[in-house]
């Protein structure tokens, strides 16, 4: 193990240079790390592997195929739309994190992972060999491929007539799975996470009027807005069934909440309530006044709502805007990473302190990831980014770079409040970001979350999987798409 870690460190040192305040790495480290990860995981019994990501290559290489077995329907066009984004080359960061974290958790001694009883369908030969208790029936009880309700009830049709896509057995686990340590339910968790994320992409591209995704026409352009929305809904429905079949109430609660978080985050982005008390929103160029509540259902103003910038000291408004921005970022991006990381730890049977650190790791990494994404929106070309760049200001979004500039230039509050809708607003904002070093300050913020995520990982035993997670975490800062 020590020799492996030395070789990993030797290979990594040319890629990563860390200091107390800044990490300097080649601009394509993230892309290299992810592509390497996708090749990934077949530990060779007779060779020491140089690539730390190779420990999950089987799972990653079969990810799209496994998801296809989960999302099939009886309608060919629906199948085409719902699988459209899985065909393209994506980063697959979220399932990669789940798989690597699951592998890292397996290095915790079994006797220290007894918070829940791992049911017999979760036990690979590794755990049988180590003497994990397993004969007792638990609340989990059955495989992730077994339905809970009768198939005739689920389909409203004779199940012999239509094959339930969610009842197809998993691919046979490779021979080395016994030493790989990733549980079947953790593998399914990784697939579910990618399904939820992809559904959100289909919906986001409709909402944001996007025309490209992953280097080709976005779903709404390739098919239509209606089909893209329905395909996203279908993916969430299929994901929800797969979530239920994990048969762990805590994990079901976590993953179901991520779906609600995505919607709430999108609403926070849709209406910039941090800057206005107005009930008027602008979307797709159309002004819409929200109907007054009748009082039959209690509603309350969002906690982050503040006064107009001219009414309050602008630093107070800037601070509130940052709180709003970070909470929105958590809901839209970090929630899925953090809750899925926590779910992987729960399924491993780990103790509460490990579970909490896994959650914080996912939260800090997710915030870092999106903050870097917001920075790239100012600096990357469409071709490099894989989707329209320089779009946030055009959509009226106040992200970290412009918020840092606003701290130095109070008049920018007026542009933010009107969501950069007046002629020349976008250009003024971009010049201000450059003048006041908004991008440099944004990078420092991302680095802070990166370092916090690395600290969270130290709760796990040293292993190749942890090294891979550390490398991936560092490389988030240097990605260019």
Provide the β-strand partners of residue 23.
Answer: 18
Q: Which two tokens stand for residue 128?
A: 């049988």
pLDDT in tens, 263-318: 999 988 877 655 555 566 666 566 777 788 888 888 776 565 555 545 567 788 88
pLDDT the model gives residue 130: 35
Q: Which domains, from first to last, does the chain contain?
A: 62-91+117-247 (no CATH), 250-292+304-459 (1.10.600.10)
pLDDT the model gives residue 357: 98
Q: Which residues of the chain have pLDDT under 70?
A: 1-53, 118-142, 152, 155-180, 272-286, 301-312, 381-390
Q: Which two tokens stand for residue 136?
A: 């007792």
What separation in angstroms does the CA of 2 have from each of 104, 356, 471? Answer: 16, 28, 17
Instruction: Give the H/E segment covering residue 268.
Output: helix 249-270
pLDDT the model gives residue 18: 39
Quote the CA–CA distance of 396 and 416 in Å, as a whole number.
Answer: 7
Query: Which residues, other chains included, contact 386 with Cβ-Cβ below 8 Å and sequence gap of 6+?
Result: 212, 213, 214, 215, 481
Task: Using the structure block, give the residue that is written with the tokens 């990605």.
Answer: 479
Question: CA-based diameter of the chain, in Å?
Answer: 71
E strands in 245-387: 280-283, 286-289
Quote the CA–CA distance of 95 and 207 in Å, as a whole number.
Answer: 25
DSSP 365-377: HHHHHHHHHHHHH
Neighbours of 358 (CB within 10 A): 28
pLDDT in tens, 245-257: 999 999 999 999 9
pLDDT the model gives residue 74: 76
Provide the β-strand partners of residue 287.
Answer: 282
C-beta of residue 56 within 8 angstroms of C-beta of residue 182: yes
Quote the CA–CA distance of 197 and 363 in Å, as a whole number.
Answer: 16
């Amino acid at each position: 193990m020590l020799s492996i870690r030395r070789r990993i460190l030797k290979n990594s040192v040319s890629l990563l240079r860390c200091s107390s305040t800044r990490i300097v790495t080649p601009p394509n480290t993230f892309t290299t790390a992810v592509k390497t990860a996708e090749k990934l995981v077949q530990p060779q019994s007779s060779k020491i592997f140089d690539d730390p990501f190779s420990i999950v290559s089987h799972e990653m290489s079969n990810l799209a195929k496994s998801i296809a077995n989960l999302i099939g329907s009886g309608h060919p066009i629906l199948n085409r739309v719902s699988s459209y984004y899985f065909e393209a080359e994506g980063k697959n960061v979220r399932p990669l994190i789940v798989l690597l974290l699951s592998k890292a958790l397996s290095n915790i001694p079994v006797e220290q992972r007894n918070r829940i009883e791992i049911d017999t369908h979760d036990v690979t030969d590794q755990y049988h060999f180590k003497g994990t208790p397993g004969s007792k029936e638990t609340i989990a009880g059955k495989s992730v491929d077994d339905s809970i309700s009768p198939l005739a009830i689920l389909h409203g049709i004779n199940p012999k007539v239509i094959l339930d896509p969610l009842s197809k057995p998993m691919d046979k686990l490779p021979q080395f799975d016994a030493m790989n340590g990733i549980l079947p339910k953790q593998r399914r968790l990784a697939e579910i996470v990618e399904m939820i994320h992809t559904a959100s992409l289909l919906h986001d591209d409709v909402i944001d009027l996007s025309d490209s995704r992953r280097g080709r026409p976005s779903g709404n352009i390739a098919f239509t807005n209606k089909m893209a929305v329905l395909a996203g809904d279908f993916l969430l429905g299929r994901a929800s069934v797969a979530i239920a079949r994990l048969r762990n109430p805590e994990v079901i609660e976590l993953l179901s909440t991520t779906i609600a978080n995505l919607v709430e985050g999108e609403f926070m982005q849709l209406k910039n309530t941090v800057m206005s008390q107005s009930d008027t929103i602008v979307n797709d160029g159309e002004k819409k006044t929200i109907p007054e509540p009748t009082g039959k259902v209690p509603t309350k103003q969002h906690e982050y709502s503040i006064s107009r910038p001219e009414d309050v000291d602008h630093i107070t408004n800037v601070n509130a805007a940052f709180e709003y921005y970070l909470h929105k970022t958590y809901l839209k991006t970090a929630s899925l990473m953090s809750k899925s990381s926590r779910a992987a730890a729960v399924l491993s049977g780990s103790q509460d302190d490990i579970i909490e650190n896994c959650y914080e790791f996912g939260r800090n990494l997710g915030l870092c990831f999106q903050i870097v994404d917001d920075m790239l929106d100012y600096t990357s070309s469409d071709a490099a980014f894989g989707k329209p760049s320089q779009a946030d200001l055009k959509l009226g979004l106040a992200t970290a770079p412009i918020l840092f500039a606003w701290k130095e230039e109070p008049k920018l509050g007026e542009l933010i409040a009107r969501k950069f809708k007046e002629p020349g607003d976008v250009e003024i904002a971009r010049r201000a970001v450059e003048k006041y070093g908004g991008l440099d300050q944004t990078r420092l913020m991302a680095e802070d979350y990166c370092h916090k995520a690395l600290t969270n990982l130290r709760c796990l035993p040293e292993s190749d999987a942890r090294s891979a997670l550390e490398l991936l975490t560092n490389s988030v800062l240097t990605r260019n798409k």
